[in-house]
Amino acid sequence: MTPLLEVSNLSVELGIFSLRNVSFQVDEGTYCCVIGASGAGKSVLLETIAGGFVPSSGKVFLNDVDITSWPPEKRKLSIVYQDYMLFPHLSVFENIAFGLRNQRMPHSDIRTQVYSMAKMLQIELLLQRNVTTLSGGEQQRIALARALVIRPQILLLDEAFSALDIVTRERMRKCIKALVKELGVTVLHVTHDMEDVWTLATHVVVIQNGCLSQIGRPDDIFQKPQSFHVACLVGAKNIFEGEGCDTLEGEPYAIDVDGVFIRTTDYVKPNERVALSIRPEEIIVATEPFYSSARNVLKVKVDEVSLRGPLVWIRTQWNSTFIYTVVTRSAFDELHLREGGHCFLMFKARSVRVLSHL
């Protein structure tokens, strides 16, 4: 099946920054989030797809048609920015209708399309208002309505929810999720917020220093990061270096980390230097070890306890290595842990992910 969007070996030169040989595909109906550190090149990638930057090499295809040299208005794409980019001198109705008027649609059809989209976004009562009098959440819905009313083949979102407060942001996620399902729109969404990824994404593209670092489904990115950079980006606080050890046939592979053998299901050669990660939420905290499928059991010192709402983050130490874990507040209360005391950490071999071979 031909992908809806194909980015092929795309490179962009912008002074000291460059996007280099980025390639990926987006199928119709996909919600693809683009993540990466600040300055990685996410927005440059989005702007280049939209037609804002001219690539130095590579191609952008839409429905198997080369649109690399097409002007933005011919690409059948819509983009929504963090600051909404609404027209302050126009009413809400006229802001939403702007793209339709540029398409020279008859006035009666414009009115029908605007009211239909406004109803979907629950802003039909705001159509005669001035946009400068509206809240951030209301302005965001208007920006979305303006982008979607022209029925783009792909909706591009550039940090579109980041300026909203937490409650409004969550409402917007629910709103966009419902719209995507109802309209069948394909989305390419640049974001720093991992909640956007978990809530909305079907696929994820990771950009690092202008290059494609990893692409896959959200679970693959979070559970199987392929590099140190990706692991850090998705919150894998426990990242260590170690050396592969000899193991008996049929046994999980073992890595010597700070004098302790850590079992993993990922392949590691004996004496090979590797980086590995363990997600905090995959570690069981106990006052005494107990029988389970967890092949790794460590006795550690409780170094620091940090209360964060309903969760408690615990920094533990074994030898010279720190390991972070997280438990619910009720579980922490039952454990009766204290800083300076000891506990046991238990985790499965499959929870230990080998990131790279050093």
* Span 205-245, pLDDT tens digits: 999 999 999 999 999 998 888 888 898 888 888 999 999 99
Tokens of 170: 């969550």
Residue segments in the chain with a per-residue pLDDT below the cut of 70:
248-250, 357-358
Q: Which residue has the tokens 């303006």?
A: 146
Amino acid occupying residue 325: T
Given this model, what pLDDT does residue 229 score?
87
Given this model, what pLDDT does residue 58 score?
97
Given this model, what pLDDT does residue 215 score?
96
Q: How far apart are CA 40 and CA 104, in angstroms?
A: 39
Given this model, what pLDDT does residue 22 score?
97
Given this model, what pLDDT does residue 358 score?
56
The residue among 137, 171, 143, 139 whose CA lies nearest residue 157 is 143
| Phi–psi pair at 208, nearest 5 degrees | -135, 120
Q: How far apart are CA 316 and CA 330, in angstroms?
A: 19
Given this model, what pLDDT does residue 197 score?
95
Q: Using alpha carbons only, what angle is made at residue 344 by residues 326 and 302, rounded to the nearest 5 degrees?
A: 65
**Cβ proximity of 326 and 280 under 8 Å:** yes
Amino acid occupying residue 207: I
* pTM of the shown model: 0.88
| Phi–psi pair at 307, nearest 5 degrees | -85, 125
